[in-house]
Every structure is written in C-alpha cells, then in structure tokens.
Structure 1
C-alpha cells in the first residue's frame, strides 16, 4: 500500500492520481458563491410597476385631463396614485421656492446688518417652517377635495361608482395640477407676482376640473348641479380656513422672531 507524498491520499494500483489542494474550493461552493442574490420581492414589484408605466397614457393625461375618466382601478391604479403624488409634491415644491425667495428678500432688506449671509439664511430657514405647514395644507386640501367629491357624487348622482374607481379617476385628474404647481414654483425664481398668478390659476382650474369630472362621473342631474358645486366649494374652503388658521398666527410670530434674532 502506497500513499501520495504531497497530499497523503492512498494510491490504488494502475490509477492515475491527481492531487487536490485543501484550500481549493469545491465546484458546488464556487457555483453557489457566483450565483447572484435574489432581489427583494418589494423591489421587484416596484420595478415591475415602473416598467409597466405607459408614457403615452401619462402624456394623454397631461394633454387631456378629462381622459382620466377612462381609468380603471384594476389596471390603472398606478396613474391615479401618481396624479395625487405629483400634485402634492408640486405644491410642496412651490412652498419651498416661496420660502427661499421670502428669506432672500428679508436678508436683502437688512443686507448691511448681516455678517454671515449663509448662517443667517440657515437660521431663518429653521425659524420659518413654511414647507411643513404647506405640506399639511396641501395634503388635507387634496384629501378633502377628492373625498368630498367622491362622497357627494355617489350620494347625489344617478351613477354609482366604486370608491377605488372614483379615486383613480379623480387622482389621475390631479396630474395636470401637479405640473401647474411645478411651473409656478419655477416661475418664483423669475417673478413672484407671476408665480402667485400661476398658483391661484392652477388652484381654480383644479377645483373646476374636479367639479366637472364629478358631475360627469356620477351623472348628477342638472337640478342638483348647483347644490353639488356649492357643497364641494363650501366644504373645501372651510377645510382650508381651519388648517390655515391653525398655523397662520404661528408663521407671523416666527417671522417677527427672525427679525429680532437675526437683525
């Protein structure tokens, strides 16, 4: 009986022997280590949804907002959610641009009294939580507008819709509003007056489109159209006033505090 002098393995008669290094990984180990890891199910689902986005449908929603009435919850839920998200983010972006320009104007007015403009801007930004308040205002306003149109439409209209279909259609309608808010935010860096004009135009157009869509979606009889419009507008205005009143005085106090602390 003989053994290999290198690896110590027993040698059989008439056998061709090949030494195997102990450090050499096995084939199975090599294959397992080279196999890519399986992606997370959540990431896979998100990628699948994004991959299925129809750009032509999005462009059509921008060119013809009323085409949102053709959306269905079974196949177009993503577009309804996208419209709501873009609308809210666009409004928040406008709030940020307004805050930025407001602080710049305040610093410009007291330019000779400021030693460090960057530090003053940072402190003023901390003292003036406009974006957070506007995020709350935009979120509640959007929820009330869509929710009250859905509820009143189903109650007063001749055609009843499932809440998912209603939400998707009304949500897809808000996509054009988000584009309007984004344009108004960019205009803020050119002209504050024009930015406010675009903002209020977008808000009024959003309300009008939502009312027209609600009347058509739920087939509200002409005898009830005036009541439907009046209730939606009244509830929307009341919700905005309640939310704004909760932080309006706080914004004034914070602005006064900026003047005292920085200047």
Structure 2
C-alpha cells in the first residue's frame, strides 16, 4: 500500500513541477481551451477545481467576517464581543457545501451528457476538462471577497461569477459529451435541473 501512495505522491509533485504559468493564464482568459486538455495534463483540471474551491473559501471567510462584524456593530457594545472569524460550525458547513456543490456540478453535467449523447463520457477526462474551466470561478470568488467593502458591488460580482461559471461549464459539458445540436436544449434543461436538485439535497443535509 505504501509504495502506491509514494508513487501517487511522486506523480503529483512531478506534475506540479511541469505546470506552466502561461498555460494557467491562458485557461483563465479562455476557459473553454480546457476542452483540449489530455489525460496527461490532468494537473490543470485538478488545479482548476482547487482554484475554484479555494476562491470560494476565501470569499466565505472575508464576507462572513464582514457580515458578522456588521451584525455585532448594530448591537450596543456588540463590537466588544464580535468574533474575529466565522465559527468552526458555520465554516465547516460552508466548506462542505462548496465541496459538494462542485461534485453536484460535475455529476449533473456528466449524467446529462451521458443521457443525451447515448454514450458514457470518459469520466476522468471529463472531470479534467470541466475542471480546467473553473479557474474563472476562483478568480471571481476572490474578486467578490476583495470587493466586500461595497456589499452591492460584491454581490454583483458574485452573481456574475456564478452565472458565467455555470454557462461556461454547461458549454464545456456540451462539447465534452459530444451532444448534437438537436439535443442541446434538452441537455441544458437536464443538466441545470440535476444540478439544482443535487445542490438542494446537499444543502438540506448540511444546513
């Protein structure tokens, strides 16, 4: 068991050493370029998913602190007791929600693609290519957090990020699954419906 773990660790470290900064920037500028990633370039898909998740967590921490501070400042002497950060219970729930939301997105796109294309997409390559689209989500979450000093602007950035990421992911799933134009509408409806259902179920279980 240990040799396998060492081999996996070595593979990850070697792949990280080969990551090109220009390639990351290119994926951020043109997320759908990830559809050309190969199985050997899996690290770019993994880093895209990680970037999205880390950006989300940073947004949770920054905005959560702002909201908590605002609530306590509205209470007489509340500023003296305001926590410096989110409680572990809240953060852990948001952590799980963000993680499972990514799982729900990948699962919904994969299942909808399988249904409408009639063939089962190679899930590893599918995850790699959809993962490479998510860099823009990480950047958007981070920007929304940095703009938290202006609540309206921060929320606007967040909404743009979520809608843009969903639209790009749907387009990516469409092309990665090889859906014909005649089945595009039903694919989009199925993918969005599945995503909302899965996210709702996960949110209900966690929150």
**Which TM bucket (shorter chain)?**
0.7 to 0.9
Task: Quickly say closer, same or farther: Cα 1:178–1:123, change in 2 above 3 A.
Answer: closer
How far apart, CA to CA, are the structure 2 residues paired with 1:172 and 1:104? 35
1:237 aligns with: 196
Equivalence map 1:6-155=2 (5 Å): 45-73=11-39, 75-110=40-75, 112-114=76-78, 117=80, 120-122=81-83, 125-126=86-87, 129-155=89-115
**Number of equivalenced pairs:** 202
State the superposition RMSD in angstroms: 2.4
Question: How many Å apart are 1:152 and its aligned residue?
Answer: 2.1
* Helix, strand or coil at the partner of 1:122: coil
* Deviates further, 171-180 or 231-240: 231-240
Query: Greater Rg, structure 1 or structure 2?
Result: 1
How far apart, CA to CA, are the structure 2 residues paired with 1:130 and 1:193? 23
More helix as a share of residues: 2
Question: How many Å apart are 1:42 and its aligned residue?
Answer: 7.2
TM-score by length of 2: 0.87
1:220 aligns with: 179
* Helix, strand or coil at the partner of 2:165: helix
Question: How many Å apart are 1:131 and its aligned residue?
Answer: 2.3
Q: Tell me if structure 2 keeps the 8 A contact 1:158–1:219.
A: no
Question: How many Å apart are 1:98 and its aligned residue?
Answer: 1.7
Any idea what the Cα deviations from partners look like across 1:215-263, whole Å, max 9, x if unmatched? 2222212222111111111111122223333455xxxxxxxxxxxxxxx
Question: How many Å apart are 1:184 and its aligned residue?
Answer: 0.8
1:204 aligns with: 163
* Deviates further, 238-247 or 89-98: 238-247
* Helix, strand or coil at the partner of 2:14: helix
Q: Tell me if structure 1 keeps the 8 A contact 2:104–2:199.
A: no
Task: Quickly say closer, same or farther: Cα 1:47–1:246, change in 2 above 3 A.
Answer: closer
Task: Quickly say closer, same or farther: Cα 1:238–1:43, change in 2 above 3 A.
Answer: closer
Q: Tell me if structure 2 keeps the 8 A contact 1:158–1:221.
A: no
Question: How many Å apart are 1:213 and its aligned residue?
Answer: 1.2
* Deviates further, 58-67 or 91-100: 91-100
2:142 aligns with: 182
TM-score by length of 1: 0.69
The structure showing larger relative contact order (alpha-carbon pairs under 8 Å, at least 6 residues apart) is: 2
Q: Tell me if structure 1 keeps the 8 A contact 2:141–2:158.
A: yes
Task: Quickly say closer, same or farther: Cα 1:52–1:137, change in 2 above 3 A.
Answer: same
For structure 1, the residue ranges without an aligned partner over 5 or more in a row are: 1-39, 249-263
For structure 2, the residue ranges without an aligned partner over 5 or more in a row are: 1-5
Task: Quickly say closer, same or farther: Cα 1:129–1:197, change in 2 above 3 A.
Answer: farther
How far apart, CA to CA, are the structure 2 residues paired with 1:47 and 1:243? 32
